Amino acid sequence: MAEERRQKQCSVVMPTESMKAMAESVGVGQLQEDSCVALSEEVSYRIKEIVQDALKFMHHGKRRKLTTNDIDHALKLKNVEPLYGFQSQEFIPFRFASGGGRELHFYEEKEVDLSDIINTPLPRVPLDVSLKAPKEQQKSEFTEPLKVVKPGQEEEGSIQAKGQGATSAEGLGKEKGSIRIKPRSTHELSVEQQLYYKEITEACVGSCEAKRAEALQSIATDPGLYQMLPRFSTFISEGVRVNVVQNNLALLIYLMRMVKALMDNPTLYLEKYLHELIPAVVTCIVSKQLCLRPDVDNHWALRDFAARLMAQSCKTFSTTNNNIQSRITKTFTKSLLDEKTQWTTRYGCIAGLAELGPDVIKTLIIARLSVEGARIKAVMEGPVVSNIDKIGAEHVQSLLLKHCASVIAKTRPLPDVVDQYRTDYGYLGPMLCSHVVKARAQAALQAQQVNRTTLTITQPRPTLTVSQSTLGVSSGPRTPSIIKVPSSLALMSTRPGTPTQPSPPTTKYIVMATSAGAASTQQVITLSSAQSGSPVTSTVPSTPSTLQPLVKLESSSTAGMSRPLQKYIVVSLPSSSSVDSKGSGVLPASTSPISVEQSVKLERSESPAASTQSPH
């Protein structure tokens, strides 16, 4: 075989016909056969020689492909004028033609009209040479110690993983001429995407509630946002960082709603960005101060809402690897146990823990009830301290009652004796006792109404009713309206967004109720501290007139009492799906979800502002 090839090598010469053709092309007519043979052998040898030299240039040019330039350089070596006009870097197509018993290969030279060349717009200037290195690697040179790669895995599979510095960096960037570092890293956005991003972020933090609703709806439902996800996540985390310092409660709320919307979007996979989102959310839960006037502003609602987000992300994303839930629990517990923790942070910790489920409540909160009770007592009954502390203590108290009562109702054997409670739970015992009694009553009621009672057991949501009933302490009539809802709480915990489920209406409703609870608590409490008026009435003034249609719709299904509640519910629950389901659930005739939401939004957008104004 090798021999065959050698033979070929040895005998390859230009055909004499080519010689003749070439001779004709330069005007030599009758070339003798002998001359042709001699010429062809000579020419073949020279060509081989030149190509062999050209190969040297190719090797030194670090290429695999021989180019016309290499040939030129080889000719130059031999002191031969290079062939001008063959500057192509690429393959030069030779055409084939035959006729008259002759076969020809030739290089087609097209006639070019100069005016065409002059008139055509200039082609794009080729990109200039640039030097790229993976960014993180560069950094590592200066900051980190070298990464150690384990030996003994030279096979292909590991090569790619190990050789990421070489491969990922250069491989990815080629299409657009710029380098990308990792698949996770930000991608360049198209102009449309940039516009979209700008619009969305502006709407989310802007003043127009209608726009915000649309934007959040878009975030929560649009597929294909993954390219913008890193930017959104940075936007949120940076936004929280800035606005916490500036105590801009409204913006914090908007940002949390964005988080909620992102989490609601089934096409987005947030896990890669939790490192940005979780700190933002936790900040909104436990920060000492979230608003300019802590005594009046309702930052409690934000804490509740963020706590719920936190709980949701724990459920969704916590794995044995990242251990989010246990890490978060530890964080909360630590500051809860700290004596010096302020009431605001304390509230956040408790809310955060409570949202994590009855087990957490049972082991971490109920165990602390007496201690917390004593602390609350000290504030409530002790010498007059600052108003802020008092408000904080009240909120913590109501929060504890709300969350603990339902759990205790499930776990504690029946006879609810006030004294027993007092011995068990200290200062909060009596109040807790009454809450538990109510909770039991509700549970019984629900068991009759809905078959799903069992679900409610697992859920922390029923505690909402308790919170309502804490309101109830000040305002009796409210509880019943809320009580309707609790059974569906279990469903609520499954991610909203499936409006077609038969039970969701109640679920959603409950959700709203819970947030309503929070929201209304906010209102109520501000009122109670300032005026001690009925909570319901207090909320009404803040609802703007634009809400009229909404009110009408709801009025058809429920008592007028629930109106303000619903509104407030929406405030804390921006997700469109919940609104949507609410609409469908509450109203047999489906109203356009957007209009409902819009109105809700509008109201909500004002609510923080309103709440800041209303007390004074």
Partner 1 sequence: MAAVQDGQVESDAEKETKPDASNDVAGNSSGGARSMSPNAASSASGAAKAAAPTGPGEQQTLLAVLQFLKRSKLLESVDILRREAGLSDELDESQTNDGAAAGSASLLRRVSVGGAAATNIAATTTSKGAEDQPDVSIVLSAYSQQGDPALYQVYYSGLKNFIESVLDCHRAELSQLFYPLFVHMYLELVYNNHEHEAKVFFEKFSGDQECYYRDDLRVLSGLTKKEHMKGNETLLDFRTSKFVLRISRDSYQLLKRHLQERQNNQIWLIIQEHLYIDIFDGMPRSKSQIDSMSGSLAGEARREANKAKVYYGLLKEPEIEVPLDDEDDEAENEEGKPKKKKPKKDNLGSKNKKQDPNAPQQNRIPLPELKDSDKLDKIMSMKEATKKIRLGPDTLPSICFYTFLNAYQGLTSVDVTDDSSLIAGGFADSTVRVWSVTPKKLRKVKSAADLNLIDKEADDVLERIMDEKTASESKILYGHSGPVYGISFSPDRNYLLSSSEDGTVRLWSLQTFTCLVGYKGHNYPVWDTQFSPYGYYFVSGGHDRIARLWATDHYQPLRMFAGHLADITCTHFHPNSNYVATGSADRTVRLWDVLNGNCVRIFSGHKGPIHSLAFSPNGKYVASGATDGRVLLWDIGHGLMIGELKGHTDTVYALKFSRDGEILASGSMDGTVRLWDALKAFDVETDDFTAATGHIHLPDNSQELLLGTYMTKSTPVIHLHFTRRNLLLAAGGYNSQ
Write out the residues near partner 1 by the rule CB under 8 A: 2-3, 6-7, 9-11, 41-42, 44-45, 48-49, 52, 56-57, 59-65, 69, 73, 76-78, 89, 126-134, 137-138, 140-141, 145-151, 154, 156, 159-160, 162-163, 165-167, 169-171, 173-174, 177, 179
Least distance from partner 1 to the Cβ atom of residue 187, Å = 18
DSSP secondary structure of 427-492: GGHHHHHHHHHHHHHHHHHHHHH-TTHHHHHH-STTHHHHHHHHHHHH-TTHHHHHHTSGGGHHHH
The distance of closest approach from Cβ of residue 104 to partner 1 in the complex, given in angstroms and rounded to an integer, is 24
CA distance 134 to 81: 44
Q: How many other CB atoms are there within 10 angstroms of residue 258's CB atom?
A: 27
256, 210 in Cβ contact below 8 A? no
Contact 483/442 with Cβ under 8 angstroms?
Answer: yes
Q: How far is the CB of 599 from partner 1 (least distance, A)?
A: 54
CB 80 → partner 1: shortest distance, Å? 12
Structure-token pair, residue 508? 């959603």
Amino acid present at 417: V
Q: Are residues 553 and 596 in contact, defined by beta-carbon separation less than 8 angstroms? A: yes
- State which residue, 3 or 111, has the beta carbon closest to partner 1: 3
Smallest separation, CB 71 to partner 1 (Å): 13
Nearer to partner 1 by Cβ, of 129 and 589: the residue is: 129
Nearer of residues 166 and 337 to partner 1, judged by Cβ: 166
Q: How far is the CB of 7 from partner 1 (least distance, A)?
A: 5
Query: Which residues make beta-bridge pairs with 592?
Result: none
How far apart CA 121 and CA 118 sit, in angstroms, is 8
140/221 with CB nearer partner 1: 140
SS3 state at 103:
strand
Shortest separation between residue 93's beta carbon and partner 1, angstroms: 16
Our CB check for partner 1 shows the closer of 147 and 334 to be 147
The SS3 call for residue 97 is strand
294, 347 Cβ separation under 8 angstroms: no
SS3 234: helix
Q: What is the largest CA-CA distance in the chain?
A: 130
Per the structure block, which two tokens stand in for 331?
């964080």
Q: Whole-number minimum distance, CB 226 to partner 1, in Å?
A: 24
127/589 with CB nearer partner 1: 127
How far CA 434 is from CA of 362, 400, 439, 474, 486, in Å, comes to: 18, 13, 9, 14, 18
Minimum CB distance to partner 1, residue 183 (Å): 14
Helix axes 593-613, 562-572, angle to 10 degrees: 90
Question: Least distance from C-beta 275 to partner 1, angstroms?
Answer: 23
105 membership: H or E segment, kind and range = strand 102-107
Which residue, 172 or 285, is less far from partner 1 as judged by CB?
A: 172
Nearer to partner 1, 89 or 119 (CB): 89
Q: Are 508 and 578 in contact (CB under 8 A)?
A: yes
106 - beta bridge partners? Answer: 95
Q: Would you say the C-alpha torsion 232, 237, 238, 240 has a positive or negative sign?
A: positive
Tokens of 600: 């809700």
> CB–CB of 507/455 below 8 Å?
no
Cβ neighbors of 285 (< 8 A, separation 6 or more) are: 303, 306, 307, 310, 348, 349, 351, 352
Token readout for 204 is: 């989310």
3 state SS of 270: helix
Please say which residue, 132 or 184, places its beta carbon nearer to partner 1. Answer: 132
Identify which of residues 167 and 449 has a Cβ nearer to partner 1 in the complex: 167
Between 169 and 464, CB nearer to partner 1: 169
Q: Which is nearer to partner 1, 5 or 110 (CB)?
A: 5
User: 140 or 557, CB closer to partner 1?
Assistant: 140
In the bound state with partner 1, the residue whose beta carbon lies nearer, of 144 and 338, is 144
**Beta carbon of residue 10, minimum distance to partner 1 (angstroms, whole number):** 4
CB of 96 to partner 1, least distance (A): 25
Whichever of 126 and 415 has its CB closer to partner 1, that residue is: 126
Query: Distances in Å between the alpha carbon of 581 and those of 492, 496, 589?
Result: 11, 9, 12
Q: Whole-angstrom Cα distance, residue 450 to residue 286?
A: 36
What is the C-alpha separation between 372 and 377, in angstroms, rounded?
Answer: 8
Least distance (Å) between residue 11 CB and partner 1? 7
Beta carbon of residue 278, minimum distance to partner 1 (angstroms, whole number): 30
Task: Decide: helix, strand or coil at residue 186.
Answer: coil
- 185-189 own/partner pairs: CB under 8 Å, 24+ apart: 185/230, 186/230, 186/231, 187/227, 189/227, 189/228, 189/231
CB of 84 to partner 1, least distance (A): 15
